[in-house]
Amino acid sequence: MNQTSHISSAGALSIGSLVHPQTDYRYNMGTSAFNGFSRQPMHFVPGFTSDDSMFYTPESSQSPVSEYYGRYAHRQSISSSSSVAAFEPSGASPLIGGNIPGHWAPSSAPPSILPSNMLDEGSYLPSPADSSVPIPLSDLDGYEWSVIRRELSNTSGILSGDAATGVSDTIRWDCLDHYWQYFHPHFPIVHRPSFLPTKPSPLLASAMAAIGSQYDSRPDAKQYSLTLLEVATKLLRRRDSITSRSRLADLQTVFLLEILAKFCSRRAEVEMSARFRSLFASLDQARRTLATDPLAVFRTLRKERTPEDVARAHKFWLDHETRRRILQASHVLDHQQVTFFAQAPTIVQHERPRRGGAPSLRCSIPLPCSEELWETSPVEAWSEKASNTQAPKLRSPQQQQTPKTPTDYFQAQVSLVSNPDLPIDQVLPQELQAGKTGACLSFNCHVMEMARNTPVRQLLVVSGESWVLGKKLENEAEFQEAKRTLRAWVDANHESRTAVWHATQVLRSRINSTLSDYTNTELSISFHDTHMLHEPWALYLAALVCWAYGFSASTMAENSGQGSGAASVISEPQSILSRASSMSSAHPALLDAHEAAYSTREYLAATNVGTAENISRIDFQVLGRTHGLLEVIRLYKIGALLGGLMNEAERVLYRLVEGRSRLSHF
């Protein structure tokens, strides 16, 4: 995938220039650093307006799915496809008079998400609510833009700009740069070639900037991300129901805010929000329509097709493919919540078995289109690429049991979630098992196998001493039951050894130890980042699995007189102070950095065995020495992160390393 070109961070992108649809954000930055800044010309997608236009138009902003539903005089476009406000000609924009929009009536639409006549020229009859004059900005988008700018300006801990540009110093091009570079490859649900030309909605741009800020190293970046997440979430709660028929920007915003909130919100929020569950269910109900070929319109074009024909086919493909991708990305996110937090799945199937091996009534959705086709622009190049794309073939029920071979990371993720019982070698081709893509997929596979063989909730309850995911258990009996379950898990041998083996594979793939001085005696620890939002939590779970198994094994060895199961000894106070000043963790370092690094390397080397069964041959005392590993994860991976989930993880690891835990056994 071609990465976005680097954009200097010397200048700052104002909130207005990023999310205000009326502003020519490429050249009118509102800051002296960007005035006259030359940028490479980019290909614009026909069917979308370029930045030379001041106004939204139905052609530039509407979804082809809902464009032909017709509009109703009693409502304006909150969950319709258009960002153009539907005002009476005599009405004035509320931005001019400073009015705040009132309550929005629930949207309604025909039951079919893809009407058969949606591409017919005469199928759309304008209603009296349609304005013949284009409005620069809808009242809803304009109001949300104003709220976001005001909230960012008033938030402490975030650099503020001058009065003329509002919060120009807080939103930078780097936010979107980081989004495209680090997050987009894992969840490509926003079409990059058409994103900038369509002038995105304020909420979508804010959600993307909030995610991009998580990868920013500036001191205020994480706080800025949290603030954007909270403001955008509050605004989203005021919306009507967002369904599979809503405009694409709203669907994308719901998903992006949901995944960010799961791992980075100020409070630990692992349960799916009601809005996401509603949207997910709506998309799932439309799966039979979404399973149809997005290139169906393109394949019907004559050989002597006009540019307008291709543009209309591209528009249909883009909308259909994006909605399908959001549904598939939602499945991946939902599976992550089940895996990482032992949550119940959002979509539970209660389908009765069919006689005679008849195929399931539930329609299976093909893999998303290839990354190459998804990223291709302009439309002329896309048309050539689409012409070489084979049409999907009807598959027998037996053939549907064997997944199609994925060709890129997102396809592989969707395939792995859809076929969790198949080995990775059977799902992924050899070329996807190498390089960065292979490393991320291998990481996720090991994490899923680790969690599948671990009582995750009981592990979190016991290690947190009756606190789990920001909540205190209501009674002691549940805590005691969790300890019994965890003991039984360790005693089960096969499951616990399998979990430990996969956990050490996860840790070994990310932790790098190097000798950092000329004497080759100073060992330092670093991490190979996958840039996946769930990576820190996955490493935390892996460390807890190793701790629980080693803690129990060393305790049993100590009780049987085989030796001391004590882990690394706590350093003297002077080493604590020497490390505390250089770390951003909420708590100071407990172990000497050199000691923790060597302990971690020795543990990972000792547990580097070929199979899970070989874990039982490792010395109990070695398995019990996990304090260095816990300290390294706490200080170098979790300590610098904000949010309720990471704060809880940091406190738990601190207690376990400190040795003041009340867990004499479990």
Q: Which of 17, 66, 22, 50 is nearest to 249 (CA)?
A: 66
In a domain, 421, yes or no: no
Rounded CA-CA distance 541/450 in Å is 9
Residue ranges of E strands in 516-630: 523-527
Rounded CA-CA distance 319/246 in Å is 11
Is-contact 257 191, C-beta < 8 A? no
151 plus 292 within the same structural domain: yes
Query: What is each CA distance from 550 to 487, 509, 546, 665, in whole angstroms?
Result: 12, 20, 6, 12
327 plus 211 within the same structural domain: yes
The whole-number average pLDDT for the span 503-527 is 84
Q: Residue 368: its pLDDT value, please? A: 94
Lowest mean pLDDT among 74-83, 161-170, 600-609: 74-83
227-273: pLDDT as tens digits: 999 999 999 888 888 999 999 999 999 999 999 999 999 888 889 99
Lowest mean pLDDT among 358-362, 410-414, 654-658: 358-362
Q: Is the pLDDT of residue 33 over 90?
A: no
DSSP secondary structure string, 392-448? PPP--HHHHTSPPPP-SHHHHHHHHHH-TTS-HHHHS-GGGGSHHHHHHHHHHHHHH
Q: How many domains does the chain have?
A: 2
Confidence of residue 469 (pLDDT cuts 50, 70, 90): confident
**Is the backbone peptide bond immediately before 378 cis, with ω within 30 degrees of 0?**
yes
Q: Residue 251: its pLDDT value, please? A: 96
Q: Label residue 103 exposed, middle or buried (CB < 10 Å: 0-12, 13-18, 19+).
A: exposed
In a domain, 622, yes or no: yes
Q: Is the pLDDT of residue 369 over 80?
A: yes
In a domain, 556, yes or no: yes
Rounded CA-CA distance 409/386 in Å is 20
- One-letter-per-residue 3-state SS of 464-502: CCCEECCEECCCHHHHHHHHHHHHHHHHCCHHHHHHHHH
386 plus 479 within the same structural domain: no
444 plus 316 within the same structural domain: no
**Cα 574 from chain centre:** 41
The whole-number average pLDDT for the span 547-571 is 58
Rounded CA-CA distance 191/13 in Å is 21
463 plus 592 within the same structural domain: yes
Rounded CA-CA distance 408/441 in Å is 11
Q: Is the pLDDT of residue 373 over 90?
A: yes
In a domain, 113, yes or no: no
383 plus 464 within the same structural domain: no
387 plus 440 within the same structural domain: no
Residues forming beta bridges with residue 525, ordered by sequence position = 513
Lowest mean pLDDT among 112-126, 302-316, 398-412, 445-459: 112-126
Percent over 90 (pLDDT), the chain? 42
325 plus 453 within the same structural domain: no
Neighbours of 62 (CB within 10 A): 23
613-666: pLDDT as tens digits: 999 899 888 898 999 999 999 999 998 888 889 999 999 999 999 875 555 556
388 plus 466 within the same structural domain: no
Question: Which helix (H) or strand (E) element contains residue 652?
Answer: helix 644-658
Confidence of residue 473 (pLDDT cuts 50, 70, 90): confident
Neighbours of 625 (CB within 10 A): 20
**φ/ψ of residue 67, rounded to 5:** -65, -30
Identify the domain containing residue 603 by its residue range.
434-658
454 plus 602 within the same structural domain: yes
Taking the model in full, what pTM does it have?
0.75
The whole-number average pLDDT for the span 145-153 is 79
479 plus 385 within the same structural domain: no
Q: Which of 178, 190, 101, 87 is nearest to 142 (CA)?
A: 101
**φ/ψ of residue 327, rounded to 5:** -60, -45
The whole-number average pLDDT for the span 49-54 is 32
The whole-number average pLDDT for the span 295-307 is 92
In a domain, 546, yes or no: yes
Question: Which helix (H) or strand (E) element contains residue 514?
Answer: strand 511-515
In a domain, 397, yes or no: no
Is-contact 540 653, C-beta < 8 A? yes
Rounded CA-CA distance 428/414 in Å is 11
Q: Residue 186: its pLDDT value, please? A: 96
* Stronger pLDDT, 551 or 648, i.e. the higher one: 648
67-107: pLDDT as tens digits: 333 333 333 333 333 332 232 333 332 222 233 333 323 33
Q: Residue 5: its pLDDT value, please? A: 40
Q: Which token pair is 388?
A: 């070489």
In a domain, 425, yes or no: no
In a domain, 377, yes or no: yes
Q: Which of 371, 375, 359 is nearest to 413 (CA)?
A: 371
330 plus 475 within the same structural domain: no
Neighbours of 273 (CB within 10 A): 17
